[in-house]
Structure 1
């Protein structure tokens, strides 16, 4: 694992459950795009902090794993799986690709395609 790698750094920050570590992975002018939910796009690492504070509140044990990754010039492509437990004890799973670019070692832009996964209660 390369701690200078933006993907590894973000994964480790998520797994630390510290929203400030997560926000520190992004530039102040970071732009988030969510093509399946365009209204959820935003700008700024401050919003990252707000979002991840809420996520950790709802999924305090969330764990992120990077399943695959590729680099195409300045673009970093990765496939993620995030698993956690909701306050009522239900398992929550999100999977999907994330495309990102970086500036000065921090994530500057992303397109998130993460989506909830239907979880079989018997698993």
Structure 2
């Protein structure tokens, strides 16, 4: 296990629990890179955008809690499964789950992250219903009944 990645996770979770955007951003390298492979246009580089993001998150979900569900460490990289939960200021629940692949620098700061985290779909649609709807959409797009 990498002590640096463990240190990062510990520092990040404590910073997030403080709901202080500046403290969270201190966990990131100045030229940190955040990629969202499922939403590529949302990727960014740098602490300033990270600070804006975390400020918005804490303003919108003031009781945000991040739980580390599991982690695997290899060198300067870790795979962290996280659960984000809380209540938004409009009273609606905030729930996200996923994995972040994190690379840290020599100071245990995040230098690169790939986010595979999504909002939890609370609908009661089974996998069969989901696939049938996908198939129906494909038929409609192809002009078939």
* TM-score, structure 2 normalization: 0.77
Q: Name the structure with the higher helix share.
A: 2
Q: Alpha-carbon deviations, 1:8-60, whole Å to 9, x = none?
A: 11111111100001100000000000001000000001111110000011100
Question: Matches of 2:40 and 2:48 in 1, distance apart?
Answer: 19
The answer to whether the 8 Å contact 1:26/1:108 transfers is yes
Aligned to 2:134: none
Aligned to 1:59: 61
Which one of 105, 108, 132 corresponds to residue 105 of structure 1?
Answer: 108
Question: Structure 1: which 5+ residue stretches go unaligned?
Answer: none
Q: Which residue of 1 aligns with 2:117?
A: 114
More strand by share: 1
Q: 1:86 aligns with which of 85, 88, 94?
A: 88
Q: Larger deviation: 81-90 or 60-69?
A: 81-90
Asked if residue 18 in structure 1 is aligned to residue 20 in structure 2, the reply is: yes
Q: Contact conserved, 1:63 with 1:82, CA < 8 A, in 2?
A: yes
How much is the aligned-residue C-alpha RMSD, in angstroms? 1.7
What's the TM-score once normalised by structure 1's chain length?
A: 0.91
Q: Which runs of 5+ in 2 are unaligned?
A: 124-145
Which aligned segments of 4 or more residues in structure 1 are displaced greater than 4 angstroms? none
Q: Which has the larger radius of gyration?
A: 2
Q: How many residues align?
A: 119
